Amino acid sequence: MAKQVDIEEGENIRESVRKEYSEIAKTDGSCCEASSSCCGSYSPTDLARGIGYSQEDLSILPDGANMGLSCGNPTALAGLKQGEFVLDLGSGGGFDVFIAAQKVGKDGFVIGTDMTPEMITKARNSIKRFTEKTGLSNVEFRLGEIEHLPIEDETMDVVISNCVINLSPDKSQVWREIARVLKPGGRVCVSDMALLEPLPEKVKQSAAALVGCISGAALVNETEAMIKSAGLVNIKLIRKSYNMDIMDGCNDQLYKAISETLPKGKKLSDYVVSMDITALKRK
């Protein structure tokens, strides 16, 4: 089972993450500058297409919703249907919320939750533009931590999340919360980072590695154990073809800082993999 942190350490981790993502929201950027990209010619749009988002998905997004913070496509993984109620953990600027809202239609509803007030404000400010583009008024954004979701029991058909659970200092609690809010027979579909082997201590202590979704990640077998412990079933963990080495040579200072903490001759992909994770709640 993944190592649990104490209350003070957990709050310090949350505050570090909140501070960094607050800055991203304020600058209207992504992991890179809004007008540039993380890796040469790569833009947030290029990244989204590369991990499976269609042009149709991206076309309905309000400006600024795609911040280049994804490591997969949980909305496609979930196979969303008309009329479903969906929760997005760590919704940021609303990227996956708006895409999911288009898929569930006027009879469905999507709630995004995020612990960063600036991200919630940014996402809420985009709702009007989304409605103008699509004619839909089926989204809401709530401030809250993913360890303590502001959602009633057994109200969600689907829970999605995109590169967020790894940031939590108490991942077991996150999975218990997912199980709590899902309806019987509901499903969770997550894209996230996982570790193939333990990170070197120097990397784990790097603030850049934490905010870059690296140092907080759990080992693959630990992740599966936490999901089982939460009572979820039909668990599948699938490695994605997305390779962490895309970040090698990046202009982005965040990933440069991470690379500098790696042992000589080692690459990020030696330690970290992008995963698609799915599970069901028993009926």
Domains of the chain from N-terminus onward: 7-280 (3.40.50.150)
DSSP string spanning 247-265?
A: GTT-S-HHHHHHHTTSPTT
pLDDT at residue 173, as a whole number: 96
pLDDT at residue 78, as a whole number: 96
pLDDT at residue 239, as a whole number: 86
pLDDT at residue 21, as a whole number: 67
pLDDT at residue 154, as a whole number: 98
pLDDT at residue 246, as a whole number: 54
pLDDT at residue 204, as a whole number: 63
Q: Which two tokens stand for residue 204?
A: 């784990």
pLDDT at residue 272, as a whole number: 79
pLDDT in tens, 143-174: 999 999 999 999 999 999 998 998 898 999 99
Q: What CA–CA distances, in Å, run from 192 to 28, 60, 217, 237?
A: 23, 24, 8, 10
pLDDT at residue 163, as a whole number: 86
pLDDT at residue 222, as a whole number: 93
* Residues of the chain falling short of pLDDT 50: 30-41, 209-211, 249-252
pLDDT at residue 127, as a whole number: 97
pLDDT at residue 83, as a whole number: 98
pTM of the model: 0.83
